[in-house]
Structure 1
Amino acid sequence: MTQPTVIFFGPDAPRTPSEEGAPKIYLRTLLFSTSKRGRVIESMHVTLSRNEAKQNFNIWVCGESKLARGSGLYVGENGISANHHFLVPDDDSKSFRFRKGKYRLEVLAHILGDKNPKRLHFQDLEVTAELAAQLEEKGGGLYFDWGPDSEEYIPHIESRPPSPDLAEVSALLGLTGRSTGRAAKPRSD
Structure 2
Amino acid sequence: MDYVSIPISIISLAISLGTFWLAFLDRGRLAMTKPTIVFFGYDTVPKPTPKVFLRTLLYSTATRGQVVEGMYAVVRHCNAERVFSFWGYGETEKLSPGSGLHVSRTGLAVNHHFVLSVHEDAYQFEPGNYEIDVIADVVGQTKPVKLSTICLTLNTDHVAALAKHNGVLFERKIDGEYEGHSRDR
Task: Report the 3-state secondary structure (helix = DSSP H, G, I; strand = E; otherwise coil) of the residue aligned with 1:36.
Answer: coil
Q: Is 2:184 aligned against 1:153?
A: no
Instruction: Give 1:14 shift.
Output: 3.3
TM-score normalised over the length of structure 2:
0.79
**Match of 1:154, as an amino acid?**
E
Indicate whether 1:141 and 2:167 are aligned. Answer: yes
Q: What SS does structure 2 have at the residue aligned with 1:133?
A: helix
1:11 has 2:58 as partner: no
SS in 2 for 1:32: strand
Q: Which runs of 5+ in 2 are unaligned?
A: 1-31
SS class of match (2:83): strand
Q: How many residues align?
A: 153
Q: What secondary structure does 1:92 align onto?
A: coil
Q: Following TM superposition, by how much is the alpha carbon of 1:116 offset from its aligned partner in structure 2, in angstroms?
A: 0.7
Higher helix share: 2
Percent identity, aligned pairs only, is 37
Instruction: Give the deviation of 1:130 after TM superposition.
Output: 2.4
Where does residue 120 of structure 2 map in the other structure? 92
**Equivalent position to 2:150, from 109, 123, 147:** 123
Instruction: Please say if residues 33 and 75 of structure 1, whose CA atoms lie closer than 8 Å, have aligned partners that are also in contact.
Output: yes
Report how far residue 114 of structure 1 moved.
0.5
The answer as to whether partners of 2:157 and 2:182 remain within 8 angstroms in 1 is no
- The list of structure 1 runs, each at least 4 consecutive aligned residues, that deviate by more than 2 angstroms after superposition, is none
Deviation readout 1:30-70 (Å, 9 max, x if unpaired)? 00000001000001000000111110000001111211111
Q: Distance in 1 between matches of 2:126 and 2:41?
A: 11
Higher CA-based Rg: 2
Name 2:89's counterpart in structure 1. 62
- CA distance in 1 between counterparts of 2:73 and 2:176 reads 22
Amino acid at match of 1:88: L
Q: Which residue of 1 aligns with 2:4?
A: none
Q: Report the Cα distance in structure 2 between the residues aligned to 1:77 and 1:116, rounded to whole angstroms.
A: 21
Separation in structure 1 between the aligned mates of residue 88 and residue 177 of structure 2, nearest angstrom:
26
Query: Which residue of structure 1 aligns with residue 18 of structure 2?
Result: none
Instruction: Give distance in 1, aligned partners of 2:44 and 2:53.
Output: 12
Matched, 1:53 2:80: yes
Contact 1:10 1:98 in 2 (8 A): no
Quote the offset at 1:156 in angstroms.
0.2
Q: Which residue of 2 aligns with 1:166?
A: none
